[in-house]
Structure 1
Amino acid sequence: MKHALITGASGGIGSSAAIRLSREGYSLYLHYCRNAKKADELKEKLEAEGIRCRTIQSDLSAPDGPDRLLNQIEDPIDLVVLSSGTAPYGLITDLSDQEAAAQIQLHVTSPFLLVKKLTPGMVARKAGNIVFITSIWGETGASCEVLYSMAKGGQNLFVKALAKELAPSGIRVNAVSPGAVSTDMLASFTTEELSALQEEIPAGRIGKPEEVAEAVAFLASEKASYITGHILSVNGGWN
């Protein structure tokens, strides 16, 4: 049986990725930070379909988060989907040092430590997949989301560098870079703001979490066997 770890599985993209990957025969570790209710609901839904699941609680914005998560894993991991993330909005001068440290821990340090601990098993088996959920802002940058853009840009370069390092061991590392997607990150937008946003997007609409999940499933599959170090934009032509 193949085992996948999905961080941020209680979120819109993470939960959609879990549902999509369950169709590929994965047993799932569903990580969440605070939203135990959504994580449990997802677990119940998947178990009702015969999927083996386990929820894992850990705050990856805290220094002890990675070890807390890893200590709850009992199987060799074949696929890691790194989907945890929040996006504080505001001028760079409005963000506290504590917020900055937590965001770097969440988006950069914790993923680095998780991958560092999980890759030796993949190397030993000469197989494995790592897929990051980054962001369009990691490619183009965004005013009032400077910290988030910086962190996601770091993830993109981590993907490219790590892919080169692990390719000789049969391990692929890629990222899906979504544009505007209908998740809780857009929950604070007004109807007018959402309408204006859609007008900026050539496809004329907001993306769906399921569309991002399809890209994750593709990159994790043998159909993408010669793709590594790639940042796959899923943004409706918005850039």
Structure 2
Amino acid sequence: MSRSVLVTGASRGIGLAIAQAYHAAGDRVAITYRSTPAPDGFLSVPCDITQPDHIETAFAAVEEQHGPVEVLVSNAGITRDKLLLTMSEDDFTSVLDTNLTGAYRVAKLAARRMIRRREGRILFISSASALYGQAGQSNYTASKAGLIGFARSLARELAPRGITVNTLSPGLTDTAMLNTLGAEKVEGLAAQVPLGRLARPEEIARAALFLTSPDAGYITGQVLAVDGGVSMGH
């Protein structure tokens, strides 16, 4: 059955791969973006998730064309990597405002509609670094770890209404953004992964598809790490 799916921050990388997986499954897929729309085949809606009025407008546009959001994938996020002593307060708060507070904003709007229907799927895209930490990313890691606690609390709140809430934590993934580091650096990072390679975006997307599928109807409040074994034991 075709569902109304919204993936935030999905004009490229993991978000785009997730949107493409839903589209291939026959769902009606909308994506939000800040600068570059997604390729043809999607309803692309401009939205800065740090601005509540932008989110209201985006949801209204999605609902007008696709109906109420039945599956929300909260993927939008930014990085401002610096060591603590060189990290400004704006570096810290801006990352949390986008990655964590932004997720709160979109989840709150989606949940309102889902509660009325007594069904829905919410998935937050966290990071393997939220489970084991990463030097130079204390702001990013804090925001992604916060998503896990946020999701588990929501899972308890929304379960009586038939809504599941889970978190997906990808590891290093073969995207254009990672490849800007250079081949030698990427090879070194891949060597630290127990499986010895980077994730492919479509592998992350298939995990997202499963966690929001009817087959995962009895799974909520969980964290699925798709990271080649990097965070095992955490």
In 1: Cα distance, 2:112 partner to 2:48 partner: 23
Query: Is residue 2:211 matched to residue 1:219?
Result: yes
In 2: Cα distance, 1:69 partner to 1:151 partner: 23
Query: Is residue 2:223 matched to residue 1:231?
Result: yes
Q: 1:65 deviation in Å?
A: 4.0
Match of 2:152 in 1: 160
Q: 1:117 deviation in Å?
A: 1.6
In 1: Cα distance, 2:58 partner to 2:85 partner: 33
Task: Report if aligned partners of 1:62, 1:105 keep a CA contact under 8 Å in 2.
Answer: no
Match of 1:208 in 2: 200
Give identity over the alignment, percent. Answer: 32
Q: 1:22 deviation in Å?
A: 1.4
Task: Report if aligned partners of 2:179, 2:186 keep a CA contact under 8 Å in 1.
Answer: no
Comparing 225-234 with 115-124, which one deviates more in the overlay? 115-124
Match of 1:91 in 2: 83
Write the mapping of 1:1-239 to structure 2, written as runs, cut at 5 A: 1-36=2-37, 39=38, 41=39, 44=40, 46=41, 53-62=42-51, 64-74=53-63, 75-239=67-231
Provide runs of 4+ in structure 1 moved above 3 Å.
Answer: 61-65
Q: Deviations over 1:18-64 (max 9, x none)?
A: 1111133211111111123xx1x2xx1x3xxxxxx311011224464
Q: Deviations over 1:117-174 (max 9, x none)?
A: 2212111111100011110111111110000000000001111111111111000001
In 1: Cα distance, 2:86 partner to 2:47 partner: 27
Q: Counterpart of 2:3 in structure 1: which amino acid?
A: K
RMSD (Å) for aligned C-alpha atoms: 1.5
In 2: Cα distance, 1:65 partner to 1:91 partner: 32
Alignment: residue pair count: 227
Match of 1:50 in 2: none
Q: Counterpart of 1:152 in structure 2: which amino acid?
A: K
Comparing 168-177 with 21-30, which one deviates more in the overlay? 21-30
Q: Deviations over 1:60-107 (max 9, x none)?
A: 244644334334332211000111112222112322222322211111
Q: Normalised by the size of structure 2, how large is the TM-score? A: 0.91
In 2: Cα distance, 1:231 partner to 1:13 partner: 17
